[in-house]
Structure 1
Amino acid sequence: MESRVEVKQPTLNTSGFSDDLSETRKMNSSNGRPTNKFEDQVPFSPEIAYHQPESTMAARGSHPGESLTVCSETLGGIIYRSIRLVVFSNRLNLLMPFGPLAILVQKLTGHHGWVFGLSLLGIMPLAERLGYATEQLAFYTGDTVGGLLNATFGNATELIISLYALKSGLTRVVQLSLLGSILSNMLLVLGCAFLSGGIVFSKKEQVFNKAAATVNSGLLLMAVMGLLFPAVLHYTRTEVHFGKSELALSRFSSCVMLVAYAAYLFFQLRNQSGLYISANEEERETGDNSNDDESPEISKWESIIWLLVMTAWISILSEYLVGAIEGASNSWNIPVTFISVILLPLVGNAAEHASAIMFAMKDKLDISLGVAIGSSTQISMFVIPFCVVMGWIMGQPLDLNFQLFETAALFLTVIVVAFMLQEGTANYFKGVMLVLCYLIVAASFYVHVDSNSEDQPVP
């Protein structure tokens, strides 16, 4: 009677099928049955290949199971997963429909108050999603470049709004909105980051790179100097050619500031990149970082595509937003100054708010500073001079004379923040102080009447 041999299911390990096959050959030989190399071959099973551990696949190299695993996610699956993560993973995205609704209200009714309010609500989640996509891209670039990218795309909203306002001849709105962005980033965004990080890590003192903060503070003081001299020249009536020297000085200073910012980028990213290495990167080098298990949720190219999509949609809504500013001021009985300095930056800085707080709560305070202070530096040293040059090209007389009250507010803000950063440490008390300073600034602009506009005191 022929004996039957029961062969167990092969077990996959780093050595493949060799152990189980050798055991099967021994059992067949003991029963007098010749072994056949073609019988001993285990047929390929897609189910087995999909359940094979990644370590086994990496050890064995390329084979049919590996190609099936890699190609298992189709293009449609990638798009669905990306949309689900970017669009449907945040409750703030519930405000996205307000953007198309603002366009619809503009087409049907033309009520500027509603259009302005709906546009504000529609841009807010888009600006926050810009921060998310930039954060994902920062996984592939490192903390230093990541902070710069976050500041750049975080300021995309302000730059787009400013260019549309400049095109419409609203030069004063451009000045006030960019000034408000600087004040909001330095006081509110940085204050919220210090506050949230200090609450989460209340038992230890958070630290950041003092050298990078010092350089940014110096650049901000240089920007204040560039804004201060045209204002002083105007109010002291010491211009050689009244009404022309002030504009010429502003354009010359803008070109100098653009050169200074380009030199700063080259200095930071190339020659002295080691000087500005963040504390987070130092911990990764020494193996002391507890956040090493973090990984990006979307790929690098997905992040870039989402950045372009969000920027394009923000530019569309910004056109409706800028066109409704004056109408909203009349409808809501709120000065254009307050809308430009406080409301517009709150929406434009939504990305900075979300990113800075999120990184601070992960003990990545260097990125938070790169977002908040780096964003203020970029606005003052790049966006404002760039808008002056673009106004020069468009024939719009945009200058650096931000008026005496606004320039004084910026100067005092830079001094306060520079003192807060000089120790290289952060805690929740510093965060509270910065947020309270921003409340004082907001209240001051609410009761301030701009001499260059038709603002009237609110009854």
Structure 2
Amino acid sequence: MSVKNIIFLVLLLFIPVSLAAHFLEWGELVVFITAALAILPLAGWMGTATEEIAVVLGPAMGGLLNATFGNATELIIALVALRAGLVSVVKASITGSIIGNLLLVMGLSMLLGGIRYKEQTFQPIVARVNAASMNLAVIAILLPTAMNYTSQGIDEVTIQRLSVAVAVVLIIVYALTLVFSMKTHAYLYDVGVAETEDEDPETPQHKPNVWLWSGILLVCTLLVAVESEMLVDSLEVATSQLGLTALFTGVILVPIIGNAAEHATAVTVAMKNKMDLSVSVAVGSSMQIALFVAPVLVIAGWIFGQPMDLDFNPFELVAVTVSVLIANTISSDGKSNWLEGTLLLAAYIVLGFAFYFHPVIA
């Protein structure tokens, strides 16, 4: 059993601990910390279950399943927060997920992989396609924000209608990226798949129990929903006790909690000199957040009657733009080394400090 699986098994103990903390009223801070720790292994098991089911379903349906459940944990947390009216936290978590995947995850992957291997390579064509998709995402969140700041007397309903229209376009684009990666240009992505299969010669004989893993996926999803409810309920009080703002919590803490398992996977495969797969996980997760999760949350906000739109805090927009720019610049040549990883991490740390010291906006 790998070290990661052992850690996840130990962290499962926080599920009953968090429930006890909630029902026995041990305090909002204890509930927040234990619920966050409980979500980490659940997210990991959800990812494992999705991968095992994908083996049985085949490349096409398996790829679609992975694309749908790739950020399920964070989507559940965001939906719970949205229903609770924490719109600013939800928007910040979208920003934080994009920044975290492009700078923190890819940076750690390039740094640790680059320390073991002098130079690592990945498909530059795929990097360019991903860069174009992320540029579209930046434009999509830029326009509603720009419209709000350049128009006099524009109302919230108009911004939300624009956001819903843009969200529909982004979801269509996301569907087309799936067709591109899994159908018309699947050969560009075959390197990562081949590397995964070569890692374990016994993989072709591996026949997962689809009903068992489906049950695990269902149970983990329900538990994540329960833990997310407790996490969100205790979030405002707990973070204020820690001296953190809602902006910092949404941008830094929530994405790390929701994506920790996926982050670990990207870094692990990079250290095995599988940068194609690592970059695919990091950038693919950012694309999924920008082109699928964010639009779904906008539409969900419209259904819930919450003012969720794509009108972001200008400071968040600057952070996303900077992250996409530096990530696209570093990954465009299809090569990486430890220094490039350090540059990405430095950018993430600088942005983290900026969000920490950013004043609370009334």
The answer to whether the aligner puts 1:346 opposite 2:256 as a matched pair is yes
* TM-score (normalised: structure 2): 0.90
Structure 2: 5+ residue runs without aligned partners?
A: none
Q: In structure 2, do the counterparts of structure 1 residues 143 and 179 end up closer, same or farther at CA, with 3 Å as the change threshold? A: farther
The 8 Å contact of residues 145 and 311 in structure 2, kept in 1 or not, is answered as: yes
Q: How does 1:378-397 map to 2 (within 5 A)?
A: 378-397=288-307
Seq. identity, %: 39
The equivalent residue for 2:344 is: 434
The equivalent residue for 2:277 is: 367
The answer to whether the aligner puts 1:307 opposite 2:221 as a matched pair is no
Q: In structure 2, do the counterparts of structure 1 residues 125 and 183 end up closer, same or farther at CA, with 3 Å as the change threshold? A: same
Structure 2: which amino acid aligns with 1:419?
Answer: T
Q: In structure 2, do the counterparts of structure 1 residues 138 and 196 end up closer, same or farther at CA, with 3 Å as the change threshold? A: farther
Which has the higher Rg, Structure 1 or Structure 2? 1
The equivalent residue for 1:247 is: 160
The 8 Å contact of residues 151 and 372 in structure 1, kept in 2 or not, is answered as: no
Of 265, 273, 283 in structure 1, the residue corresponding to residue 178 of structure 2 is 265
Of 307, 331, 336 in structure 2, the residue corresponding to residue 421 of structure 1 is 331
The equivalent residue for 2:130 is: 216
Structure 1: which amino acid aligns with 2:131?
Answer: S
Deviation at 1:86, TM superposition (A): 9.6
Deviation at 1:110, TM superposition (A): 5.6
Of 286, 293, 296 in structure 1, the residue corresponding to residue 201 of structure 2 is 293
Deviation at 1:118, TM superposition (A): 1.0
The 8 Å contact of residues 101 and 118 in structure 1, kept in 2 or not, is answered as: yes
Structure 2: which amino acid aligns with 1:259?
Answer: I
The equivalent residue for 1:189 is: 105
1:281-316 per-position Cα deviation (integer Å, ceiling 9, x unaligned): 3x79xxxx9635253877152444433332222111
CA-based RMSD of the aligned residues comes to 2.7
Deviation at 1:274, TM superposition (A): 2.2
Structure 2: which amino acid aligns with 1:299?
Answer: P
The equivalent residue for 2:116 is: 200
Which stretch shifts more, 151-160 or 221-230? 151-160
| Number of equivalenced pairs | 360
Q: In structure 2, do the counterparts of structure 1 residues 423 and 139 end up closer, same or farther at CA, with 3 Å as the change threshold? A: farther
Structure 1: 5+ residue runs without aligned partners?
A: 1-84, 454-459
Q: How does 1:21-32 map to 2 (within 5 A)?
A: none
The equivalent residue for 1:105 is: 21
Structure having greater relative contact order (Cα 8 Å, sep ≥ 6):
2
Q: In structure 2, do the counterparts of structure 1 residues 140 and 446 end up closer, same or farther at CA, with 3 Å as the change threshold? A: same
Structure 2: which amino acid aligns with 1:253?
Answer: V
1:16-39 per-position Cα deviation (integer Å, ceiling 9, x unaligned): xxxxxxxxxxxxxxxxxxxxxxxx
Which structure has the highest helix share of the two?
Answer: 2
Q: In structure 2, do the counterparts of structure 1 residues 167 and 433 end up closer, same or farther at CA, with 3 Å as the change threshold? A: same
1:135-189 per-position Cα deviation (integer Å, ceiling 9, x unaligned): 5456567889877755643411110001101111111111111211111111111
Taking the aligned partners of 1:249 and 1:435, their CA distance within structure 2 comes to 34
Taking the aligned partners of 2:261 and 2:245, their CA distance within structure 1 comes to 25
Match of 2:188, SS? coil
Of 313, 320, 327 in structure 1, the residue corresponding to residue 230 of structure 2 is 320
Taking the aligned partners of 2:331 and 2:4, their CA distance within structure 1 comes to 37
Q: In structure 2, do the counterparts of structure 1 residues 226 and 89 end up closer, same or farther at CA, with 3 Å as the change threshold? A: closer
Taking the aligned partners of 1:368 and 1:395, their CA distance within structure 2 comes to 38
Taking the aligned partners of 2:202 and 2:344, their CA distance within structure 1 comes to 30
The equivalent residue for 2:12 is: 96
Structure 1: which amino acid aligns with 2:255?
Answer: P
Q: How does 1:167-182 map to 2 (within 5 A)?
A: 167-182=83-98
Q: In structure 2, do the counterparts of structure 1 residues 278 and 221 end up closer, same or farther at CA, with 3 Å as the change threshold? A: same
The answer to whether the aligner puts 1:331 opposite 2:241 as a matched pair is yes
* TM-score (normalised: structure 1): 0.72
The answer to whether the aligner puts 1:275 opposite 2:188 as a matched pair is yes
Q: In structure 2, do the counterparts of structure 1 residues 430 and 256 end up closer, same or farther at CA, with 3 Å as the change threshold? A: same
Taking the aligned partners of 2:149 and 2:200, their CA distance within structure 1 comes to 55
Q: In structure 2, do the counterparts of structure 1 residues 201 and 149 end up closer, same or farther at CA, with 3 Å as the change threshold? A: farther
